[in-house]
Amino acid sequence: MDHKELNVWKQSVDFVVDIYRSSASFPKEEMFGLTSQMRRSAVSIPSNIAEGSARKNDAETIQFLHVALGSASELETQLIISNKLGFINDVSNQLMVITEIKQQLLGLIRYLKEKNK
């Protein structure tokens, strides 16, 4: 499976760009705090999809997809915190994208599990 052909990978790469742009205006004192955490979480999503896709078997791929799912949940939490701190005014669109990414990851995990029954 080539990760570059997966819609979830493409969408999560685009989302990384959005997160970088959104976090660019965070206070300077957050550069090594929330800004860095959010960017690492965002980058982790497509990176783990790519790494999992390169694995030898579906069980390993599923493991990396679960890591990507965890990073998406982590980023979701960080966006909510950023909103509550007033760093980002409206996170509703970003939360919607994360929900879509998580649904696609879960769908891919289900597909791979069913394929191996």
DSSP tag of 5: G
Percent of the chain with pLDDT over 70: 100
Q: What is the pLDDT of residues 58-77, one digit of tens each?
A: 999 999 999 999 999 999 99
* Cα–Cα dist 68/74, whole Å: 10
Per the prediction, the chain carries an average pLDDT of 95
**82-98 pLDDT, tens digit each:** 999 999 999 999 999 99
Query: Total domain count for the chain?
Result: 1
Mean pLDDT computed over 50-57: 92
Considering the entire predicted model, what is its pTM? Answer: 0.94
Q: Is 62:114 a contact under the CB 8 Å cutoff?
A: no
Q: Could you tell me the CATH number of the domain that includes residue 36?
A: 1.20.1440.60
pLDDT of 64: 97
Find the domain containing 52 and state its range: 3-115
SS3 annotation, 9-45: HHHHHHHHHHHHHHHCCCCHHHCCCHHHHHHHHHHHH
Average pLDDT over residues 106-114: 95
**pLDDT, greater one: 36 or 32:** 36
Asked whether the predicted pLDDT for residue 32 surpasses 90, the reply is no
